[in-house]
Chains A and B, each alone.
Chain A
Amino acid sequence: MPDVPSSSSFIPKRTQGTKVYQKRTKSFFLLSIVSYACLIAAPTASAAVYVYQLYTERQFDQIVTELDEAIGGFSEAEMARVLEFDNRLRQATILVNNHVSVARVFDILETQSASNIGFTGLSLKRNGDASVAVEAEIIAPNFDTALFQRGVYMREDNPIDVASLSDITFVPPNEQGVGERVTMSGSFAFSQESIAFTVTDTVPAATANDLETPDADSSDTTIESTEASGAVSDETL
C-alpha cells in the first residue's frame, strides 16, 4: 500500500510543547489541593486539640474536687472509735478463748482419784502456753491403792493430759498396826482444751447468795474428801 502524506490526514497531530504544559499544570493542581487541605486541617486540628484540652482540664478539676470532698468526709474520731472497739473485742475474744477453769482441775482430780486417796498439798501453775501444771503430794493407805491409782492415771481416756508419780515412800504401820501409808508426788498437766471455761450458769459473783455455806471439817487434813462423788472406786479392795 503506498504511504499516505501527513498533510492529507484529518487527525491533528500532537506537538511536544503541549505535553509538557499539561504535566506542569497537573502537579501544580495537586500541590494546591494539598496546600489547601493543610491550611484547613491545621486550624481545625488546633481547635479540636484546644477544646479537648479544656475538657480534660475540667475533668481534672472535677476529680480533684471529688477527692477533696471524699477526704473531707473521713472522720478521724470515728476511725479511732472503730479501731478501739475492734481492738478491745479481739483482745477480749482471745482472753475468753484462753480462759480456763481451775475448779475444773479439782473436779478432774476428784473423779480420777480413788475414794481413799488424799492430797496433802497442791501447787498449781499456769504455763505460758495456756496449759496448767499441777504438783501434788498424794497419800494412799497401801501399795494396792497406789498401784490402782497409778493405773487410773495412765489410762488413755484420762482427761489429764500428762500424769506421773514419783518420790514414792512407804511408811510402815506403828506398833499398834495403824499409820501405814504410801506417799508420793504427782505431776499433772492439763491442756487448755480439757479445762476450758464453759458458760453453764453465769451467776455474777455479787449475787452468789445461793452458793452453799461450806461445813468446816476440822478432822480432814487432806484437800479432797474421802467420799467425793464420782470418785473412782478400787474394786480390788
Chain B
Amino acid sequence: MVLLAVAILLLYIRPTIAEVRAVQDQIAIYENELTRVTDVNTRLSEHSSAINKIPLSDVQALERYLPNSLDEINIMRDLQAIAAETGVTVSSIDFSGDQSVAPPESEDSINQTLTGVESFSFSISGVSDYETLKNFLRALEVNNYQFSVNSLEVTPSQGSLSFELNMLVYVLQTVAPTSNPDTSTPIL
C-alpha cells in the first residue's frame, strides 16, 4: 500500500501539480494582458467622449485650419479675394507646389516639430501703398487657415509699392491605422 501511494504520488499528483502551475502562469499572463486591453479600451472611450463633447463648429474650424488635402485653386481664389477686399492690385498669383523639406539641424527649428504636415508654397505679387500692404498682411494673418509668410520683397514703384510675397500653406499628413493595435505603446 505504501508503494501504491508512492506510485500515485509520482505518476499522477506531481505531474498534475506541474500542469496546474503552468496553467496558473498562463492565467497570470492573460490577466496582465486583459488589464492592458481594458485600460486601452477605457482610455480610448474617454478620449472619444472628449472629442464628441467638442462643438462641431470648433472641430470644423480645426479641419479648415489644417485640412487633409490641398485645394490650390480655392486657396488662390482666397488670396485674390483678400487682396481685393484690402485694396491690393494683384499682378500675379502662383502655386509653386510641395515645399516640404527635411528638418534643418537647429534644435529650435519649427520644421523639426512639424513631422506630420506638408507645406505648399504660394506666391502673390501686387502693387499697393504702405498702409494697404499692412492691411493685406493683417488680413492674411487672421485667415481660417494659416498663411505662413516665407519671404517678402518690397520695392518702390512709380509712387506705390510693388511687392512679392511668398507664403506656405500647411496640410495634414494622414497616418494609416495599424491592423493589430500595440497595447504596449501608450495611447495618446
User: Do A and B belong to a common assembly?
Assistant: yes
- Interface contact B31-A125, CB-CB below 8 Å: no
Please name all residues of chain B whose beta carbon is closer than 8 Å to the beta carbon of A216 when the two chains form the complex. Answer: 129, 159-160
Categorize the interface residue count of chain A.
35 or more
What is the distance, in angstroms, from A138's C-beta to the closest C-beta of chain B? Answer: 13
Please name all residues of chain A whose beta carbon is closer than 8 Å to the beta carbon of B47 when the two chains form the complex. Answer: 82, 86
Q: Does A178 belong to the interface (CB within 8 Å)?
A: no
Cα distance A73–B25 when bound, in Å? 25
Asked if A126 meets B139 with Cβ closer than 8 Å, knowing A70-B37, A76-B179, the reply is no
**SS class of chain A's interface: helix, strand, loop or mixed?**
helix
B-contacting residues, A106-154, CB 8 Å: 106-107, 120-126, 128-130
Contact with B along A40-80 (1 / 0, CB 8 A): 01110110011011001101100110110011011110111
Please name all residues of chain B whose beta carbon is closer than 8 Å to the beta carbon of A81 when the two chains form the complex. Answer: 48, 51
B-contacting residues, A195-228, CB 8 Å: 197, 201-206, 208-209, 211-225
Q: Does B123 belong to the interface (CB within 8 Å)?
A: no
Please name all residues of chain B whose beta carbon is closer than 8 Å to the beta carbon of A214 when the two chains form the complex. Answer: 87, 128-132, 135
Closest to B146 in A: A95
Categorize the interface residue count of chain B.
35 or more
Please name all residues of chain B whose beta carbon is closer than 8 Å to the beta carbon of A71 when the two chains form the complex. Answer: 37
- Interface contact B146-A124, CB-CB below 8 Å: no
Contact with A along B55-71 (1 / 0, CB 8 A): 00001001101100000
Binding site for A on B (CB under 8 A): 1-2, 4-6, 8-9, 12-13, 16-17, 19-20, 23-24, 26-27, 30-31, 33-34, 37-38, 40-41, 44, 47-48, 51, 59, 62-63, 65-66, 78, 81-82, 85-87, 104, 106, 108-111, 113-114, 116-117, 128-132, 134-135, 137-144, 146, 148-156, 158-161, 170, 172, 174-175, 177, 179, 181, 187-188
Q: Which 7 A-B pairs have the closest CB atoms?
A: A218-B159, A38-B5, A214-B132, A42-B5, A80-B177, A124-B152, A42-B8
